[in-house]
């Protein structure tokens, strides 16, 4: 319960005289046209631009947060633009972005703004993407998913202890959100940030991969992301390429079909290969598509259908 | 009081009890979904929009 005059954990939802108010509705602090690969989404309209926005605030307090300057900011101390949902959709059209991303911090905390924008965007033929930690209750989550086309959801660790110690959250709601998102039929990609000494043990990674495969399916794209020392975790080193490669090998050996390495240059960890014949389907360099050989979402060699939204 | 009036009063009383009990039960169960209303004025400061074509510096 949020007491009168107080805000929630996220800092942006306040109880004013018994009415819950969102102080960031219509006020993004960040708005950019990004490549969709930056989210990261590798199986959703590759090579397209995506209008990406965030407001300040977050319902988690990850000690390693890469965007802590905005996620852990108080709205009173921040600067924002006045940007109602109609204007966002107009801008997406103007900049020829086929989709909008609610990202950088967590769309869960600017839920009403996300919901209204996604609903309007759907009517105007613009798709909506969530980049989220998935720390949300099932009821509002299911309601929001009705207007969402794709999501990249963080699975930050596979133990409740990790979520409590590092993120000030719990694991179960995230797992529930992942399962519900996949069951809703939207495109789901999963990101796991590997932090040296905290969640980089091979057995832990294997456990995480097994959970993803059993609950979301082997076709779910899985991104292992490199950690950089930030916010309250400046004492740890960046994740080595060797660790990321090891994680990728574990995931492939466990039957995951699309496994990627992010935040670092990697020879093979950024490309999409056919899980049936091994043919190179999409070649990437950072956020740029060098080659896309997919034919109507299928492998041109063996015809295998590739999980994703391709048009 | 006629028999008809008595029955009418009884029905009204019964209906009020049912409505009241339902209302109480609804209030007693925590709400699963609370829609936050929009605040008219941003509590921080507003800034002019910069060039949004520039790629975001934030992760994600």
Q: How far apart are CA A24 and CA A110, in angstroms?
A: 7
Q: Using the beta-carbon criterion (under 8 Å), do B32 and A139 form an inter-chain contact?
A: yes
Search chain B and give the residue with CA nearest A104.
B60
Tell how strand B37-38 and strand A49-54 pair up.
unpaired
Is the preceding omega at residue A160 within 30 degrees of 0, hence cis?
A: no
Q: Using the beta-carbon criterion (under 8 Å), do A66 and B58 form an inter-chain contact?
A: yes
Q: Using the beta-carbon criterion (under 8 Å), do A22 and B56 form an inter-chain contact?
A: no
**B29 at the A interface (CB within 8 A)?**
no
Residue A304 gets the label, from left (phi > 0), alpha (psi -120 to 50) or beta, of beta
pLDDT, position B29? 83
Q: How far apart are CA B60 and CA B57, in angstroms?
A: 9
Burial class (CB in 10 A: 0-12, 13-18, 19+), A51: buried
Q: What are phi and psi of A226, to 5 degrees?
A: -80, 135
Search chain A and give the residue with CA nearest B38.
A22
Provide the token pair at A223: 């991104």
Search chain A and give the residue with CA nearest B56.
A32
Q: Using the beta-carbon criterion (under 8 Å), do B56 and A77 form an inter-chain contact?
A: no
**B54 at the A interface (CB within 8 A)?**
yes
Min distance A295 CA to chain B CA atoms (Å): 28
Beta bridge partners of A154: A191
> In chain A, which residues have their Cβ closer than 8 Å to the Cβ of B58?
30, 54, 66-67, 70, 103-104
Who among B35, B47, B53 is closest to A80 (CB)?
Answer: B47
Share of chain B above pLDDT 90, in %: 78
Residue B28 has pLDDT above 90, yes or no: no
Residue B31 has pLDDT above 80, yes or no: no
Q: Using the beta-carbon criterion (under 8 Å), do A95 and B52 form an inter-chain contact?
A: yes
Q: How far apart are CA A218 and CA A56, in angstroms?
A: 34
Who among A19, A82, A103 is closest to B60 (CB)?
Answer: A103
Beta strands in chain A (DSSP E): 13-16, 19-22, 30-35, 49-54, 79-80, 99-102, 127-132, 150-154, 187-194, 222-226, 259-262, 272-273, 280-285, 288-292
**B48 at the A interface (CB within 8 A)?**
yes
Class of domain A24-271: alpha beta
Provide the token pair at A67: 């965007």
| Cβ burial A235-245 (10 Å sphere, 16+ → b, else e) | ebeebeeebbb
Chain A / chain B CB contacts < 8 angstroms: 104
**B45 at the A interface (CB within 8 A)?**
yes
Q: How far apart are CA B36 and CA A134, in angstroms?
A: 19
Who among A25, A54, A82 is closest to B46 (CB)?
Answer: A82
Cα–Cα–Cα angle for A24, A29, A31, nearest 5°?
A: 120
Min distance B47 CA to chain A CA atoms (Å): 6
pLDDT, position A118? 98
Burial class (CB in 10 A: 0-12, 13-18, 19+), A218: middle
pLDDT, position B49? 85
pLDDT, position A207? 98
> In chain B, which residues have their Cβ closer than 8 Å to the Cβ of A106?
none
Residue A13 near residue A7 (C-beta atoms within 8 A): yes
Q: Which residue bears the tokens 């490669």?
A: A245
Q: Could you state, in order of their start, the residue ranges of all structural domains in chain A?
A: 24-271
pLDDT confidence tier of residue B27, bands split at 50, 70 and 90: confident
Q: Which residue bears the tokens 């972005």?
A: A97
Per-position pLDDT tens, chain A of length 311: 899 999 999 999 999 999 999 999 999 999 999 999 999 999 999 999 999 999 999 999 999 999 999 999 999 999 999 999 999 999 999 999 999 999 999 999 999 999 999 999 999 999 999 999 999 999 999 999 999 999 999 999 999 999 999 999 999 999 999 999 999 999 999 999 999 999 999 999 999 999 999 999 999 999 999 999 999 999 999 999 999 999 999 999 999 999 999 999 988 999 999 999 999 999 999 999 999 999 999 999 999 999 999 99
CA-to-CA separations, A231 to A70, A235, A297, in angstroms, rounded: 12, 10, 40
Q: How far apart are CA B36 and CA A227, in angstroms?
A: 34
> In chain A, which residues have their Cβ closer than 8 Å to the Cβ of B32?
137, 139
Each residue of B51-60: pLDDT tens digit? Answer: 999 999 999 9
pLDDT, position A4? 94
pLDDT, position B50? 84
3-class DSSP state of A246? helix
Who among A13, A31, A67 is closest to B59 (CB)?
Answer: A67
Search chain B and give the residue with CA nearest A20.
B36
pLDDT, position B41? 94
CA-to-CA separations, A47 to A44, A228, A241, in angstroms, rounded: 9, 26, 25
Q: Using the beta-carbon criterion (under 8 Å), do B54 and A103 form an inter-chain contact?
A: no
Q: How far apart are CA A177 and CA A140, in angstroms?
A: 10
pLDDT, position B23? 93
């Amino acid at each position: 319960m949020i007491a009168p005059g107080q805000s929630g954990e996220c800092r942006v939802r306040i109880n004013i005289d018994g009415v819950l108010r969102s102080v960031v509705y219509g006020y993004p602090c960040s708005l950019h046209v990004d490549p969709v690969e930056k989210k990261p989404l590798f199986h959703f309209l590759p090579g397209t631009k995506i209008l990406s926005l965030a407001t300040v605030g977050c319902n988690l307090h990850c000690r390693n947060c890469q965007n802590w300057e905005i996620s852990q900011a108080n709205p009173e101390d921040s600067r924002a633009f006045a940007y109602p949902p109609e204007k966002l959709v107009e801008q997406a059209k103007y900049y020829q972005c086929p989709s909008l991303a609610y990202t950088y911090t967590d769309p869960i905390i600017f839920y009403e703004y996300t919901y209204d924008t996604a609903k309007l965007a759907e009517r105007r033929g613009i798709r909506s993407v969530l980049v989220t930690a998935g720390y949300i209750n099932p009821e509002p989550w299911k309601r929001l998913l009705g207007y969402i086309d794709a999501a990249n959801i963080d699975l930050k660790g596979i133990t409740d202890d990790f979520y409590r110690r590092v993120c000030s959250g719990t694991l179960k709601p995230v797992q529930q959100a992942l399962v519900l998102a996949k069951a809703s039929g939207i495109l789901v990609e999963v990101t796991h940030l590997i932090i040296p000494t905290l969640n980089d043990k091979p057995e832990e990674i294997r456990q995480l991969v097994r959970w993803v495969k059993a609950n979301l399916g082997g076709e779910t794209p899985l991104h292992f992301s490199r950690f950089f020392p930030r916010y309250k975790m400046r004492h740890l080193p960046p994740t080595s390429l060797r660790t990321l490669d090891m994680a990728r090998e574990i995931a492939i050996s466990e039957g995951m079909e699309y496994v990627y390495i992010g935040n670092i240059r990697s020879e093979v960890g950024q490309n999409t290969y056919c899980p049936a014949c091994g043919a190179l389907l999409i070649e990437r360099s950072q956020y740029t598509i060098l080659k896309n050989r997919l034919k109507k979402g299928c492998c041109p060699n063996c015809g295998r259908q590739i999980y994703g939204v391709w048009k | 009081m006629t028999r008809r009036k008595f029955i009418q009063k009884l029905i009204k009383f019964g209906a009020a009890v049912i409505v009241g009990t339902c209302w109480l039960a609804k209030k007693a169960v925590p709400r699963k979904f609370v829609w936050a209303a929009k605040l008219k004025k941003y509590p921080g400061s507003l800034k002019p929009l910069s060039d949004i074509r520039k790629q975001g510096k934030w992760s994600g």
